[in-house]
A and B are shown apart, each in its own frame.
Chain A
Amino acid sequence: MPHDGASREAGEEVTMSTVSPEELNDRAQTILADIDAKGGVLKASERLSIPAQEMPNQDPGERRHNTDEVALGYSVAQARVEASRCLQCKNQPCVAGCPVSLPIRDFVSAIAANDFGKAIALIKEKSLLPAVCGRVCPQESQCQASCTVGKSLKDVDKAVAIGRLERFVADWEREQSQAPVPEVKPASGKKVAVVGSGPASLVVAADVRREGHDVTVFEAFHKFGGVMLYGIPEFRLPKAIVSAEVETLRAMGVKLIPNFLVGRTRTLQDLMDKDGFDAVFVGTGAGLPHFMNIEGENLVGVFSANEYLTRANLMRAYEKGRAATPIVDAHRVAVLGGGNVAMDAARTALRLGADEVYLIYRRTAKEMPARVEEVEHAKEEGVQFHMLRNAKRILGDDQGRVTGIECLCYELGEPDASGRRAPVAIAGSEFVLPVDTVIVAIGNGSNPLIRQTTPGLEFNKRGNIVCDENGRTSLAKVFAGGDIVLGAATVILAMGQGRRAAAAINDMLSKA
């Protein structure tokens, strides 16, 4: 029997609040007055009874027509109330859940005590990109997953909102316009090349520069920030935040060279042999989109999420009339995949004027790798979720343009190697969704360029650079980190790797 597949989940289960920012702030003010009246001294049971502070968001109906940031950020009162929910556990399970071991308990305590300067200083001892991580980290599966408050209330969504607090103090500092430029030690006479300018690379550049080494960042694009610029959309991570971080590096004396593709403009070996770099960090990311390998995938109107998002974000195609880079006029869009990138692509398509956006995922919502918050936001904005469906082939007209996508229905079978229940196709369940655009967001392989042009550098079967826990590769003086090592992962994991590689580089140079 044919399935029509029109399981419209959008609009049916809106769980996020649409309470106005003003109202949320008023409620927080009242609670804060109580807390302050007690001099901030509360019993654990009192802390657990403080309501979790909701993030004020732009109205879904409005925001699907603009590219402004969706989450508006806590007010001062909300931040202090949320921070007051923290039980200040002695064993700090949250810190163990953080890939870069932020002193979470202590910075949260500083926020509750109204000392935002101290809070941000504590964070910056461990993390260089708090405004970014506060926005895009999957806190619900890291620090907040092990939060005692969430466990006591038997709901991970009720954990202390560590990410939102991190974002709050990072934004607070940026708005003070007095963010101090990190101190740089006297010149060491050593030169370090950083390849790529995503999160891992920016962290390496900062940490190595602080030790007084001469640092040059090489970026293939004309702007710096890597996936934070071309991939993550403005409505989730404003570009101004990324460029502020880049400007801090510039102020520290890091040299930034755009339009330079290591492997082509210069080989990695030549950077060391001819240009005299004493160490090289490779942070080139996961830059080769996977396709489904199904019929019709090269039709006009089929894009990788990378292409679609790069046109929209980095090339600013969303500013129609100003940007020279064209983007498809999509009306009915199918997005294939269930990760954060799929959500970004679907929500970008809505903002660029699509009437209908379908998200096609072959498992169920439970198995989706995307963050819960992103899924909820996508639903609120009107993305239609087709779960347990998968693309079989893409249909086109005689001009080679997409006219529809044929999908197959699935059911969940036994758990597979990943521990998730494997989707099994239901024979004869094909149905066609009429669409004019298909965006493939099923992940990235690793870019082959460095591999092809760097003899002696060891890669694994998946094309990722092989290195030890400190980022040391098979080549002397060459280090690596981020998605080129991890496969497609997260900003915070990339940053953590950058930190360890930078420490290893600094250690090596201090002994040289």
Chain B
Amino acid sequence: MNPTDYAILYKRQLSENVYMMRIHAPYIAAERKPGQFILLSVDESYGERIPLTIADADAAAGSITIIFQKVGLTTTLLADLEVGDHLAAVLGPLGQPTHVSKVGTVVCVGGGIGVAPMHPIAKAFKSAGNRLICILGARNKDLVILEDEIRAFADEVIVCTDDGSAGRKALVTAPLKELCEQMPRPDLSIAIGPPIMMKFCAETVRPYGVPLIVSLNTIMVDGTGMCGGCRVTVGGETKFVCVDGPEFDGLKVDFDGMMKRLQAYRPQEQRMAAEGQEHQCRMMAQAEKLEKK
């Protein structure tokens, strides 16, 4: 198969709005390292380029695994594609890989869909000889992803849900705080998830002097440093998530500024997502008509 033929090889719905796909992308599968991401587009002429994290890869099979949540127009269109369909573009692997080393005890916190990018990073820290504790957070039982996969290699897994339908009824910061209070303290913590979760993880570990790495997912156009749309303030300096990140010192990131920037296109996006669904409805109606004939 042509290496730039981005065919969907496998698709599974993980929960109401969360999907897993394996995509043919042999160059990326061969080169990607934990912490890196891709940009994809579903339409050659009019598509939008969105950043998504790489949840896993199989270099021998030439495929990468993505896990995404249906939130806007592009993810809605992506969720509607089936095995055998093709993406218009997949660019990667982008960003600086995670700096993985043996530090002792590492706590990985994944919130919601953030567990997907956390998976390869956690695995890499375990392989490097660290003691690995993973905290998986979700709103409810159905939204907990990759729990079995992570249990397969982690030393300890703590599941938290907002409603208590799985694991503890708690926010991820509660077990994180408990771990920080234990002696010896964790040597490193990593948090990937909604910005508000990462912000509170930072406030949780800060008093204990436990270092925190966060992986940011901001608005991007090219993903190569050219547009600067992804910029965030880290320690008072402007950084580009695509080339300087996506990982930064979580204790220095201006999460409030980042959250505001993530809202930049909310009005346009909501309008477009609605239009996208309307378009689908029209297509379905059309298809039904054809079938009846």
Which A residues contact B (CB, under 8 angstroms)? 220-222, 230, 257-261, 264-266, 287-289, 291, 293, 297-301, 303-304, 306-307, 310-311, 315-316, 319, 321-329, 399-401, 447-449
The reply to whether A261 and B91 form a contact with Cβ atoms under 8 Å apart is: yes
The reply to whether B272 and A324 form a contact with Cβ atoms under 8 Å apart is: yes
Of B62-70, B102-110, B199-207, B222-230, the segment with at least 4 beta carbons within 8 Å of chain A is B222-230
Main secondary structure of the interface of A (DSSP, over half): loop
Q: Could you show 26 A-B contacts with beta carbons less than 8 Å apart? A: A220-B91, A220-B223, A222-B89, A259-B4, A259-B89, A265-B93, A288-B240, A288-B243, A291-B228, A298-B257, A299-B260, A304-B227, A307-B221, A311-B221, A319-B46, A322-B46, A324-B43, A324-B74, A326-B48, A326-B269, A328-B265, A400-B260, A400-B261, A447-B226, A448-B225, A448-B243
The reply to whether B222 and A310 form a contact with Cβ atoms under 8 Å apart is: yes
* Chain B residues within 8 Å of A287, by CB: 224-226
Name B228's contact: one of A264, A293, A306, A321 (CB within 8 Å).
Answer: A306
The reply to whether A307 and B90 form a contact with Cβ atoms under 8 Å apart is: no
The reply to whether B226 and A222 form a contact with Cβ atoms under 8 Å apart is: no
* Chain B residues within 8 Å of A298, by CB: 231-233, 238, 257, 261
* Chain B residues within 8 Å of A221, by CB: 222
* Chain B residues within 8 Å of A261, by CB: 91-92, 94, 224
Please tell me if B248 contacts chain A, counting CB pairs below 8 Å: no
The reply to whether B48 and A300 form a contact with Cβ atoms under 8 Å apart is: no
Main secondary structure of the interface of B (DSSP, over half): mixed
Q: A265-B31, A310-B221 are in contact. Are A257 and B4 (CB under 8 A)?
A: yes
Interface residues on B, range: 35 or more
Q: State A304–B94 Cα separation when bound (angstroms).
A: 21
The reply to whether B226 and A323 form a contact with Cβ atoms under 8 Å apart is: no
The reply to whether A265 and B28 form a contact with Cβ atoms under 8 Å apart is: yes
The reply to whether B46 and A324 form a contact with Cβ atoms under 8 Å apart is: yes
Q: State A448–B256 Cα separation when bound (angstroms).
A: 28
Please tell me if B41 contacts chain A, counting CB pairs below 8 Å: yes
Q: A289-B227, A449-B224 are in contact. Are A400 and B46 (CB under 8 A)?
A: no
Which B residues contact A (CB, under 8 angstroms)? 4, 27-28, 31, 36, 41, 43-49, 73-74, 77, 88-94, 221-229, 231-233, 238, 240, 243, 257, 260-261, 263-265, 267-269, 272, 275
Among B225, B233, B265, which residue has the most Cβ atoms of chain A within 10 A?
B225
Q: Considering only CB atoms, which chain A residue lies closest to B73 in the complex?
A: A324
Other A-B pairs beyond A287-B224, A447-B224, 4, CB < 8 Å: A265-B91, A291-B238, A329-B268, A448-B225
Q: A260-B27, A448-B243 are in contact. Are A300 and B228 (CB under 8 A)?
A: no
Q: State A287–B4 Cα separation when bound (angstroms).
A: 24
* Chain A residues within 8 Å of B88, by CB: 222
Q: State A288–B92 Cα separation when bound (angstroms).
A: 18
Among B226, B243, B265, which residue has the most Cβ atoms of chain A within 10 A?
B226
Q: State A131–B179 Cα separation when bound (angstroms).
A: 66
Among A258, A297, A326, which residue has the most Cβ atoms of chain B within 10 A?
A326
The reply to whether B264 and A264 form a contact with Cβ atoms under 8 Å apart is: no
Q: State A158–B263 Cα separation when bound (angstroms).
A: 51
The reply to whether B226 and A264 form a contact with Cβ atoms under 8 Å apart is: no
The reply to whether A259 and B269 form a contact with Cβ atoms under 8 Å apart is: no
* Chain A residues within 8 Å of B272, by CB: 324, 326
Name A264's contact: one of B77, B93, B221, B261 (CB within 8 Å).
Answer: B93
Q: A259-B89, A298-B232 are in contact. Are A220 and B222 (CB under 8 A)?
A: yes
* Chain A residues within 8 Å of B265, by CB: 326, 328
